[in-house]
């Protein structure tokens, strides 16, 4: 917990006590989210989430290897790395590539339905944003969306495509989004409750 700098140490305990109910509620929600969306286990035989699946990791450390290599074979994700410490970065690079291949066709289909084209697509790893749409039509999506359910990825794509027509969050925007994603409120709630679980350790 972060407390304001202006508080003296004597004021911290009463401040925390005052916020106790909120702290306990937030911690309970975080535990529930972690239970519903188990974190990735980055080890041989561990699992990583991928949309609506859990992929089993097959990790082999090969000290002479120059470059890490990650490939999916059915429900198994094979990773070959020079050092175990290279595994998180190697997996992130794989997820970034996969994100483009998952998002591009969804984005193309949503744009075709909406009728307003986009200009560019980039895959990023923002800490606080799932996606963005610039006024020039440049689209950016967070690769971590692949760690959540497929329906959430589909929703975020529809949300950003709606921004190609309306660059705000006005009542008109939400009506447009609802016409394309009728369950958008449920998806928004899911992201608020579970978004912090979409990460690799």
CATH superfamily, domain at 86-197: Metalloproteases ("zincins"), catalytic domain (3.30.2010.10)
> Mean of the pLDDT values across residues 156-177?
97
The neighbour count for residue 18, using CB atoms within 10 Å, is 10
- pLDDT category of residue 59 using cuts at 50, 70 and 90: very high
pLDDT score at 95: 98
Residue 33 has pLDDT above 60, yes or no: no
User: 54: closest CA among 148, 156, 153, 169?
Assistant: 148
- pLDDT category of residue 188 using cuts at 50, 70 and 90: very high
pLDDT score at 1: 62
Is-contact 75 82, C-beta < 8 A? no
pLDDT score at 3: 65
- pLDDT category of residue 39 using cuts at 50, 70 and 90: confident
pLDDT score at 32: 64
Q: pLDDT tens, 109-140?
A: 999 999 999 999 999 998 889 999 999 999 99
> Mean of the pLDDT values across residues 7-15?
75
Residue 6 has pLDDT above 90, yes or no: no
- Report the chain's mean pLDDT, rounded to a whole number: 91
- pLDDT category of residue 23 using cuts at 50, 70 and 90: confident
What ranges make up the beta strands (E) of 13-52? Answer: 47-50
> Mean of the pLDDT values across residues 93-97?
97
Angle between helices 150-165 and 171-180 (to 10 degrees): 130
For residue 59, what are the β-bridge partners? 79
The full set of domain ranges for the chain reads 1-36, 86-197
Q: Which residue has the tokens 């591009």?
A: 104
This prediction has a pTM of 0.81
């Amino acid at each position: 917990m972060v407390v304001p700098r202006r508080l003296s140490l004597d004021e911290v305990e009463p401040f925390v006590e005052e916020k106790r109910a909120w702290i306990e509620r937030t911690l309970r929600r975080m535990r529930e989210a972690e239970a519903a969306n188990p974190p990735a286990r980055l080890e041989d035989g561990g699992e990583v989430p991928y949309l609506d699946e859990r992929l089993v990791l097959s990790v082999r450390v090969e000290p002479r290897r120059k470059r890490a290599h990650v490939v999916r074979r059915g429900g198994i994700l094979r990773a070959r790395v020079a050092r175990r410490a290279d595994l998180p970065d190697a997996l992130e690079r794989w997820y970034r590539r996969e994100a483009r291949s998952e998002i591009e066709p969804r984005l193309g289909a949503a744009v075709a339905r909406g009728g307003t084209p986009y200009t560019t697509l980039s895959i990023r790893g923002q800490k606080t944003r799932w996606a963005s749409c610039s006024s020039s039509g440049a689209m950016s999506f967070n690769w971590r969306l692949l760690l959540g359910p497929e329906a959430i990825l589909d929703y975020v794509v529809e949300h950003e495509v709606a921004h190609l027509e309306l660059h705000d969050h006005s009542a008109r925007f939400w009506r447009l989004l609802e016409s394309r994603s009728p369950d958008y409120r449920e998806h928004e709630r899911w992201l608020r409750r579970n978004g912090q679980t979409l990460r690799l350790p």
